[in-house]
Chains A and B, each alone.
Chain A
Amino acid sequence: MVDTITLIGIYIAVFLTLGLFTILYKENVWFRIAEAIYLGLAVGYGIAFDLKYLRDQWNSPWSKEPMLMVGFALAILVGILWYARFNRSVFYLYRWPLAITVGTGIGMALKTVIFSQFLDQIRPQINLNLWLPNNPWQSLWNILVFLMVPSVLLYFWFTGSGHEWAPMKVVDKFARYTMMLGFGYMFGNAVLGRYSLFIGRAQFLLGITPNPPEAQPAFWVIAAVMLITLIGWDLYKRQKS
Chain B
Amino acid sequence: MSIFDKLQDIDIRIIYLLAMISVFYPLISPMGLPIKIGAQSTKWYNYLNTIPDGSVVLFSPNFGASSLSELLPMTVATLHHLWSKNVKVVVVAFWADGPIMFRTAKGLAVPESYGKVYGKDYIELGFVPNGETGMNNLGKDVLGTCSVDYVNNRPTRDYDIMKNIKVATDFNLVISIESGTPGFDGWARQWETVYKVKFIVGCVGVSIGGMQPYVNSGQIQALMPGLSPSAEYELLIKKPGLGIASTDAITMSHYLVIAFVIIGNVAYFLSKLGGKKDG
Residues of A within 8 A of B (CB): 24-25, 42, 45-46, 49-50, 52-53, 56-57, 59-61, 104-105, 108-109, 111-113, 115-117, 120-121, 123-124, 182, 185-186, 189-204, 206, 208-210
A45 surroundings in chain B (CB, below 8 A): 96-97
B128 surroundings in chain A (CB, below 8 A): 53
Whether the pair A200, B155 counts as a contact (CB closer than 8 A) is no
B64 surroundings in chain A (CB, below 8 A): 42
A120 surroundings in chain B (CB, below 8 A): 188, 193, 217, 219
Whether the pair A192, B257 counts as a contact (CB closer than 8 A) is yes
B69 CB contact (under 8 Å) in A61, A121, A186, A199:
A199
Whether the pair B216, A104 counts as a contact (CB closer than 8 A) is no
Q: B255 → chain A, closest Cβ, in Å?
A: 11
How many Å lie between the Cα of A120 and that of B215 in the bound state?
11
Interface segment among B19-27, B112-120, B162-170, B262-270: the answer is B19-27
9 A-B pairs (CB sep. < 8 Å): A52-B126, A60-B148, A105-B133, A109-B189, A117-B189, A120-B193, A196-B226, A201-B69, A209-B245
Known contacts A52-B126, A199-B23; 15 additional CB pairs below 8 A are: A53-B128, A116-B188, A116-B189, A116-B193, A124-B216, A124-B217, A192-B205, A195-B23, A195-B257, A196-B69, A197-B70, A198-B69, A208-B27, A209-B245, A210-B241
How many Å lie between the Cα of A199 and that of B213 in the bound state?
28
A56 surroundings in chain B (CB, below 8 A): 147-148, 153
Q: B250 → chain A, closest Cβ, in Å?
A: 7
Q: A142 → chain B, closest Cβ, in Å?
A: 10
Residue with the highest number of chain B CB atoms closer than 10 Å, among A45, A113, A117, A124: A117
A204 surroundings in chain B (CB, below 8 A): 69
Interface status of B68 (Cβ within 8 A of chain A): yes
Q: A137 → chain B, closest Cβ, in Å?
A: 13
B249 surroundings in chain A (CB, below 8 A): 199, 202
How many Å lie between the Cα of A182 and that of B209 in the bound state?
8
Residue of B nearest to A190 (CB): B206
- Asked if A197 meets B19 with Cβ closer than 8 Å, knowing A189-B205, A191-B257, A202-B249, the reply is no
Whether the pair A196, B219 counts as a contact (CB closer than 8 A) is no
- Asked if A203 meets B70 with Cβ closer than 8 Å, knowing A108-B133, A189-B205, the reply is no
- Asked if A203 meets B246 with Cβ closer than 8 Å, knowing A49-B129, A53-B129, A192-B205, the reply is yes
Whether the pair B242, A198 counts as a contact (CB closer than 8 A) is no
How many Å lie between the Cα of A25 and that of B133 in the bound state?
42
Residue of B nearest to A202 (CB): B23
Residue of B nearest to A206 (CB): B27
Residue of B nearest to A111 (CB): B189
Q: A25 → chain B, closest Cβ, in Å?
A: 6
Residue of B nearest to A197 (CB): B69
Residues of B within 8 A of A (CB): 12-13, 16, 19-20, 23-24, 27-28, 64, 66-70, 72, 96-97, 108, 126-129, 131-133, 136, 144, 147-148, 153, 155, 185, 188-190, 192-194, 204-206, 208-209, 213, 216-219, 225-227, 241-242, 245-246, 249-250, 253-254, 257
Q: B197 → chain A, closest Cβ, in Å?
A: 12
Residue of B nearest to A123 (CB): B217
Q: B115 → chain A, closest Cβ, in Å?
A: 22
B127 CB contact (under 8 Å) in A53, A196, A200:
A53
Residue of A nearest to B209 (CB): A186
Residue of B nearest to A50 (CB): B129
How many Å lie between the Cα of A193 and that of B133 in the bound state?
29
How many Å lie between the Cα of A123 and that of B218 in the bound state?
10
Whether the pair A193, B204 counts as a contact (CB closer than 8 A) is yes
Whether the pair A24, B13 counts as a contact (CB closer than 8 A) is yes
How many Å lie between the Cα of A123 and that of B193 in the bound state?
14
Whether the pair B24, A202 counts as a contact (CB closer than 8 A) is yes
